[in-house]
């Protein structure tokens, strides 16, 4: 909705419908997870994409959540992957040990570069895409996309039978996964609290 594609989730109102990944709504939860992993008074890093229309909105949501939680958020925005190493070096120098990666098409597509650079800088990344934790991110909390998109044939069938997309509510995911990569935690020397381990849907070793 923030980008104006639909009027509301229940009544899209335009010639579009589908699925919402609710990633914009996870800002506060990602901050909470970072807080559990971070020692008191330690900064938390935040990497966001400045060239994406919704990047500023998601950054503000995270900044507000961090302020409410009393967290020192050290944010760096980048427009291009060439700016990554410099941004992460600055974040690490602020004293951060964890890095929230803003969920966006850019950070998803460049996740390999981001995770690798963060590891070199001693930063444990927190992603909103479950696959990232299986690929080396310290932690991931986000929708199960396979489960969500299994609903797509239902929507296609409705539309082919004449239902207008504007009359089909935008569905939100019903299954959210928490993954922790124990190998990454060990490599970075980070201790994952038991409270997170017992809540995890998957522990990656």
Is residue 5 domain-shared with residue 89, that is, in the same domain? no
Q: Does the pTM of the predicted model rise above 0.75? A: yes
Is residue 70 domain-shared with residue 126, that is, in the same domain? yes
Q: Total domain count for the chain?
A: 2
Is residue 7 domain-shared with residue 91, that is, in the same domain? no
Among all chains, which residue has been given the structure tokens 């299986």? 134
Give yes or no for a contact between 124 and 88, defined as CB atoms under 8 angstroms apart. no
At 25 the pLDDT is 77
Is residue 137 domain-shared with residue 155, that is, in the same domain? no
Domain membership of residue 146 (yes or no) is no
Is residue 79 domain-shared with residue 9, that is, in the same domain? no
Is residue 39 domain-shared with residue 66, that is, in the same domain? yes
Domain membership of residue 34 (yes or no) is yes
At 90 the pLDDT is 97
The pLDDT tens digits along the chain (205 residues) read 444 454 544 455 565 555 555 667 788 999 999 999 988 778 999 999 999 999 999 999 999 999 999 999 999 999 999 999 999 999 999 999 999 999 999 999 999 999 999 999 999 999 999 999 999 999 999 987 665 555 556 656 666 676 666 665 656 656 789 999 999 999 999 999 999 999 999 999 9
Is residue 113 domain-shared with residue 54, that is, in the same domain? yes
Among all chains, which residue has been given the structure tokens 């890095």? 99
Please give the distance of CA 126 from its chain centroid, rounded to a whole number.
7
Is residue 12 domain-shared with residue 54, that is, in the same domain? no
Q: Single out the residue of 83, 143, 140, 137 nearest to residue 112, CA to CA.
A: 137
Please give the distance of CA 94 from its chain centroid, rounded to a whole number.
22
Is residue 13 domain-shared with residue 89, that is, in the same domain? no
* Residue range(s) defining the domain that contains residue 64: 23-141+175-204
At 143 the pLDDT is 84
For β-strands 124-127 and 98-101, DSSP reports them as: parallel
Domain membership of residue 29 (yes or no) is yes
Q: Please state, in angstroms and rounded to a whole number, the distance separating the CA atoms of residues 193 and 185.
A: 11
Q: Report the CATH number that the domain containing residue 88 is assigned in CATH.
A: 3.40.50.2300
Is residue 107 domain-shared with residue 79, that is, in the same domain? yes
Strand order in the sheet with 44-49: 73-78, 44-49, 98-101, 124-127, 139-143, 176-181, 202-204
């Amino acid at each position: 909705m923030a980008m104006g594609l639909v009027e509301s989730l229940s009544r899209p109102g335009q010639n579009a419908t589908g699925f919402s990944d609710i990633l914009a709504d996870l800002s506060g939860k990602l901050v909470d997870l970072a807080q559990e992993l971070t020692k008191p008074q330690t900064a938390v890093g935040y990497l966001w994409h400045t060239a994406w229309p919704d990047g500023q909105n998601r950054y503000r949501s995270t900044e507000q959540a961090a302020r409410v939680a009393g967290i020192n958020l050290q944010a760096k925005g980048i427009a291009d992957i060439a700016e990554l190493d410099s941004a992460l070096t600055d974040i690490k120098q602020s004293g951060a040990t964890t890095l929230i990666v803003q969920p966006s098409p850019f950070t998803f597509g460049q996740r390999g570069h981001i995770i690798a650079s963060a590891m070199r800088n001693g930063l444990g990344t927190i992603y909103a895409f479950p696959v990232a934790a299986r690929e080396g991110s310290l932690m991931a909390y986000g929708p199960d996309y396979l489960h969500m998109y299994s609903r797509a044939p239902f929507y296609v069938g409705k539309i082919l039978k004449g239902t207008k997309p504007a009359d089909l509510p935008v569905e939100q995911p019903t299954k959210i996964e928490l993954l922790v990569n124990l190998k990454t935690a060990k490599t970075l020397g980070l201790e994952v609290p038991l409270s997170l381990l017992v809540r995890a849907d998957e522990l990656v070793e």
